[in-house]
């Protein structure tokens, strides 16, 4: 690791310098020093699972991923998604942009799904297209987006792939009766075969094609596990019933005694959370037993993914390309089961839903290393650009993740989390919505997750103008909402946060959220610069200086006019913060 430590300085120096296409980054130049071959763009293998949690411990049950990726690569412990739902999260991943900038905010039209992705012009403008233009051969198999169906797959076909074989709705989540659609051919049903067996075969064949090519390759594999199983016959009847995933036959009896971790937020005696979550009744024994079964089914279904990764890595090891291939493993969003009394599902802003696994292995990436820096899904496209030596796009809301260690100081401390529309409850006891529906409306909120050296916070504003504030350094399970129930009662005394009153801390967090909820490009990466263009405020700690109390005291608060199901700007209250000028405190200016 000595070499890597020595080049850290070089990377900092190179940041911001425009690189020509296919020119090596500083890291790549140093890695090729002393070798006779010039730097070659690396290959990239991306594995995206569906709904895989980090917080519920799923990665402790996948020994082959542990061996090939965690021990041979870096684990990004503080990796977050920006929207905890498949389609918006995947579009953010493929474009490097927050959902408020893609406006793909849901799984189905009019606010999301494949048709919305196409309407927004992203079929001409997303990662595989950019990689192909930069000299890559690109392959994809598995689930791309929701509402990518046996009816609309050809209108238009997905762009950007030399080879593709997509899972098709309404059979995407049907583990034993999946339908895939290859290149420009008609869809094919795999009735009676397990979807993981099908995708493993397809992924290995694409990897072989990629290895035979002359150009560097990008291969993406997106298995459906450990997502719930959905029976297409129910879907056709307009019912959405999401039941426990179905493992491969050989894994169906594993982990008989394993249960959902009984953390303090598991089915707590007191209600917790905000909005609809606060009204959930405590779960009874049948529900708890079912949730444990659901949890085990997820771990069992993941065994197929574990073996899939093993097969892919073995194939790379047999080739001469492993040394020039990055392997990236992640999921589209996290998952909760029973925490805060919730039935199985995602769509919330809690840790369980927004944290996902991220492993990166490849040339120059430290082995067995755990990276603490805050990283997010909108950083992945910029990271792949960086690894491939392609200069970043101006419309990226994220920024390349340095794959070398100890970068905390150089990275921002925030994650912007946003959600619009319905929450969806899964499992046989999912009927918790109005009239026993599994869909809960008004699950619209904006949040920030902030991890500084000595603070660890989550702040959220809901569309009904409820607020949440959790101090995760003292309350890691998010059970004590510190936000005063009566905002007018904000006092200067009471609990302190970083040595200042809650009122002062909330004023900073709210202004930061006001910037981030409509940020674009660099303002998403350096939001404090919007509030303090002329001075050196770069963190919550800096902003808490008493000097800025009056400036933060007059910011328009983040608020909603009403709850909407999509990104309707008029519903979303103030958009623009006041700005402190050139280091002069705001009250001097007025």
Return residues touching ligand NAG (CB under 6 A): 103, 110-111, 132, 137, 162, 171, 177, 179, 189, 191, 213, 233, 284-287, 429, 434, 441-442, 562-563, 566-569
In terms of CB distance, is 61 or 206 closer to ligand NAG?
206
CB of 463 to ligand NAG, least distance (A): 6
Q: Which CB, 110 or 264, lies closer to ligand NAG?
A: 110
CA angle 369, 370, 373 (to 5 degrees): 130
CA distances from 531 to 78, 573, 580 (A): 26, 18, 6
For the CB of residue 350, give the shortest distance to ligand NAG in the complex, in Å.
20
- Closer to ligand NAG by Cβ: residue 110 or 583: 110
Q: Considering the complex, what minimum distance in angstroms separates the CB of residue 255 from ligand NAG?
A: 24
Q: What is the DSSP string of 484-551?
A: -SSGGG--SSSSEETTEEHHHHHHHHHHHHHHHTT--THHHH-THHHH-TTS---SHHHHTSGGGHHH
Per-residue DSSP letter, 372: -
CB of 110 to ligand NAG, least distance (A): 5
User: Residue 563 CB, nearest distance to ligand NAG (Å)?
Assistant: 3
Q: From the candidates 86, 348, 463, 524, which is the catalytic residue?
A: 86
The answer to whether 84 and 348 have CB atoms below 8 angstroms apart is yes
- Ranges assigned E (strand) in 388-505: 414-419, 423-424, 439-440, 445-451, 456-462, 467-471, 496-497, 500-501
Q: Would residue 272 be called left, alpha or beta, if left means φ above 0 and alpha means ψ between -120 and 50 degrees?
A: beta
Q: Distance between CA atoms of 32 and 26, rounded to whole angstroms?
A: 10
**Angle (CA) 91 97 100, round 5°:** 90
Tell me the three state secondary structure of residue 157: coil
> CB 268: neighbour CB atoms within 10 A?
17
- Residue 488: exposure state from Cβ atoms within 10 A (0-12, 13-18, ≥19): exposed
In the complex with ligand NAG, the residue whose CB is nearer, 110 or 494, is 110
The separation between CA 276 and the C-alpha centre of its own chain, rounded to angstroms, equals 23
Q: Least distance from C-beta 570 to ligand NAG, angstroms?
A: 9
Measured from the CB of residue 178, what is the shortest distance to ligand NAG in angstroms?
A: 8
| Residue 355 DSSP code | B
Q: Is 524 a catalytic residue?
A: no
How many other β-carbons are positioned within 10 Å of the β-carbon of residue 276? 17
Q: How far apart are the C-alpha atoms of 157 and 160, rounded to whole Å? A: 10
Q: Closer to ligand NAG by CB, 78 or 134: give it.
A: 134
Please, which residue, 520 or 536, has the CB nearer to ligand NAG? 520
In the complex with ligand NAG, the residue whose CB is nearer, 167 or 312, is 167
Q: Which residues are catalytic?
A: 86
């Amino acid at each position: 690791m000595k070499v890597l430590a020595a080049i850290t300085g070089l990377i900092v120096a190179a940041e911001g310098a425009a690189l020509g296409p296919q020119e090596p980054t500083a890291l790549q130049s140093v890695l090729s020093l002393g070798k006779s071959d010039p730097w070659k763009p690396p290959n990239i293998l991306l594995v995206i699972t569906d709904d895989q949690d980090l917080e519920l411990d799923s990665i402790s049950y996948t020994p082959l991923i542990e061996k090939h990726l965690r021990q041979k690569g870096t684990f990004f412990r503080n990796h977050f998604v920006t929207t905890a739902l498949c389609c918006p999260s995947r579009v953010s991943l493929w474009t490097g942009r927050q959902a408020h900038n893609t406006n793909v905010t849901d799984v189905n039209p009019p606010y999301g799904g494949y048709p919305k992705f196409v309407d927004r012009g992203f079929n001409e403008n997303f990662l595989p297209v950019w990689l192909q233009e930069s000299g890559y051969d690109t392959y994809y198999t598995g689930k791309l987006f929701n509402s990518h169906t046996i009816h609309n797959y050809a209108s238009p076909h997905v762009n950007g792939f030399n080879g593709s074989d997509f899972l098709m709705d309404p059979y995407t989540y049907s583990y034993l009766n999946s339908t895939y659609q290859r290149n420009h051919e008609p869809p094919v049903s795999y009735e009676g075969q397990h979807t993981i067996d099908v995708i493993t075969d397809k992924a290995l064949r694409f990897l072989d094609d990629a290895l035979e090519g002359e150009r560097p390759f990008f291969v993406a594999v997106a298995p459906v596990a450990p997502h719930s199983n959905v029976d297409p016959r129910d879907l056709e009847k307009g019912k959405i019933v999401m039941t426990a995933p179905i493992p491969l036959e050989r894994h169906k009896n594993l982990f008989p005694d394993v249960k959902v971790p009984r953390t303090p937020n598991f089915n707590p005696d007191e209600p917790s959370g905000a909005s609809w979550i606060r009204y959930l009744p405590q779960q009874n024994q049948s529900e708890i037993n079912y949730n444990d079964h659901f949890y085990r089914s997820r771990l069992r279904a993941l065994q197929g993914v574990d073996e899939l990764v093993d097969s892919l890595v073995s194939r790379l090891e047999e080739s001469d390309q492993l040394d020039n291939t990055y392997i990236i493993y992640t999921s589209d969003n996290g998952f909760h089961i029973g925490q805060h009394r919730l039935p199985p599902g995602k769509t919330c802003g809690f840790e369980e839903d927004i944290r996902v696994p991220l492993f990166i292995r490849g040339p120059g990436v430290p082995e067995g290393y755990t990276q603490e820096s805050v990283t997010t899904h909108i950083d992945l496209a910029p990271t792949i650009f960086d690894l491939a030596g392609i200069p970043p796009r101006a419309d990226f809301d994220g920024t390349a993740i340095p794959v070398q260690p100890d970068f905390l100081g150089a990275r921002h401390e925030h994650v912007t989390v946003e959600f619009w529309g319905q929450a969806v409850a899964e499992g046989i006891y999912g009927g918790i919505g109005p009239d026993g529906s599994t869909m809960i409306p008004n699950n619209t909120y904006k949040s920030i997750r902030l991890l500084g050296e000595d603070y660890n916070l989550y702040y959220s504003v809901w569309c009904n103008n409820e607020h949440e504030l959790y101090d995760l350094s003292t309350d890691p399970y998010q059970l004590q909402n510190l936000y005063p129930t009566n905002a007018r009662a904000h006092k200067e005394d009471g609990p302190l946060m970083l040595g200042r009153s809650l009122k002062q801390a909330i004023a900073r967090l709210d202004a930061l959220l006001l910037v981030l909820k409509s940020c674009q490009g660099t303002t998403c990466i350096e939001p404090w610069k919007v509030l303090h263009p002329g001075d050196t405020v770069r963190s919550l700690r800096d902003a808490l200086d008493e000097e800025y109390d009056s400036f933060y005291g007059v910011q328009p608060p983040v608020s909603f006019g009403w709850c909407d199901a999509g990104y309707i700007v008029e519903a979303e209250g103030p958009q623009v913060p006041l700005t402190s000028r050139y280091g002069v405190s705001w009250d001097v200016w007025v």
